[in-house]
Amino acid sequence: MAEPPGVAPGDADLSNAGLFERACAVLPGGVNSPVRAFGAVGGTPYFVAGGQGAHVWDVEGNRYIDYVQSYGPGILGHAPAAVINAVAAAAAQGTSFGAPTEAEVRLANEMCARVRGLEMLRLVSSGTEAAMSAVRLARGATGRNKIVKFAGCYHGHSDSLLAAGGSGVANQGLSGCDGVTPGAVADTVVAPYNVVPDIDADTAAVLVEPVAANMGLVAPAPGFLEGLRAACDRAGALLVFDEVITGFRLARGGATEFYGVRPDLWCFGKVIGGGLPVGAFGGSRALMGHLAPLGGVYQAGTLSGNPLATAAGLATLEALDGSAYEHLEATAVTLAAGLEEAFGAARVDAVVPRVGSLLGLFFGSETPRNFDEANASVASGLYAPFFQAMLRRGVALAPGPYEAIFVSLAHSASDIDATVAAATEAAAELA
C-alpha cells in the first residue's frame, strides 16, 4: 500500500514481528504502556510508521482506519496541518526553557474562557500528574486525608489512585498493583460507579470521570453527577472531575457544559496537548491559591507548560468550534448505528453506548452501568476475536476491551462505511 504523506518508506526487512522481538529485548513486554502489548487480544502488535487523518500505516505498509487516535488526543485526526505547523514554528524557537512563555498563558486563557468556573490552572506533563496533583491540592485545601474514587475509573498510575482502576489496569487483569503499599491506599475509598456514596467529614475529595471512559464507555446515570455535587456540598468535600478524556471532547466547555454540573477542581489532558505530552488541573482562584508559590501545596515540573505542547494544544482548541462538535457527534451517531446494525444482522448480542462523540462496545444484551457489569461483558471473551477480525480488515480498535472508541474530525463518510462493512463481516465470523 502507499505510504502515508510525509512518511518515508521503511526498511524492506522491517516487520511488526521483528520489531516486537527487538523491543522485547530492551523494553519490558516490548512496550512503553502495557495495553500496547496486545496481551488482552492476542497476537503481535503492529508498529506505527506514521499517520494521516483517520488512518495509520504500520511498518509493513498496512493501512488501518484508526479509532485509537492516541486514546483521545487525535480529535482532529493524525498530523493535522494546523498542529504540525504550530509545533514546527515553536520548535524552531527552542523546545524547552525552564522559564515562562507566552504560549502557556494563552493556552490557560483559552481553557478558562471555555470552562465555566475554571479560573486558574496549572499545566503539567500528563493526566497522571494532573490527577495526583489535584488530590494533593484537595487535601491541602481541606485539611482532610480521605479520597473517594469509583471502581473502573482510571485516574492515572499514581499509587493512591490505582485501586480498582479501569483502562490499562483492568486490561492486565489486575485489581491493583504490586509495589503499592497498604499505606498508600489506606485513605482511598472505592465506590461503585453510578451510586452516590456516603461522604463523611473526613473526605477531602471525590474523584470521578463524568463519563467513565476507562471501563469501556459507561454513561453517568441521570442524577448521579448532580447527586455527587450535593453530597460533596453537604460534607464540605471537593468534587473533582477527571476530564482527561472528556475535556474539550464532549463540548466546547467539556462535561461541565455537557451535563451542567460544576466541580470544584478539574483535571485535563489529551486534547489540550494535540498529541504531545501534557496535562492540567485547575479550579477557582481561592482553591488554586493554596498551590506554591502562593500557598503551601507544592507541585513542580521541569517540562510543565512545554512550548511545543502548548502550541499544539492551542492549535487544536482553535479548530474546535461549535460546528466541529456537531460534526463529531454526527459521525459518532452514524458509526454507532452502523455497528449496532452489523451485530443485529449477525444476531450477536452487543451494545454500542454513545455519549457525544465517545463510543463504547460491550458484548451482551444490556448496557453496563458500572465496573462489575462491564467486567461481565468482557468475560464473554468476544472482544479479542472481534478486534482481530476488524484488524484483518484494516480497522484498528483499541487492543483492550476497557477502552473507548474515538472518532475524529478526519473520519469521513467513506471511512465509516468501510468500518461498518468490516464490522458486518467480523460479526458474522463471531456468529
Asked if 147 contacts 199 with a C-beta cutoff of 8 angstroms, the reply is no
Q: Which of 66, 242, 264, 415 is catalytic?
A: 242
270 is catalytic: yes
**Using CB atoms within 10 A of its CB, is residue 366 exposed (0-12), middle (13-18) or buried (19+)?**
exposed
59, three cell numbers: 511498518
Q: CA nearest 265: which of 151, 104, 140?
A: 140
Q: Which of 64, 146, 264, 270 is catalytic?
A: 270
Q: Which of 67, 154, 383, 402 is catalytic?
A: 154
241, three cell numbers: 472531575
Q: Which long-range contacts (CB under 8 A, 24 or more apart) does 20-26 make?
A: 20/44, 20/45, 20/47
C-alpha gyration radius of the chain? 21
Show which residues are catalytic. Answer: 154, 242, 270
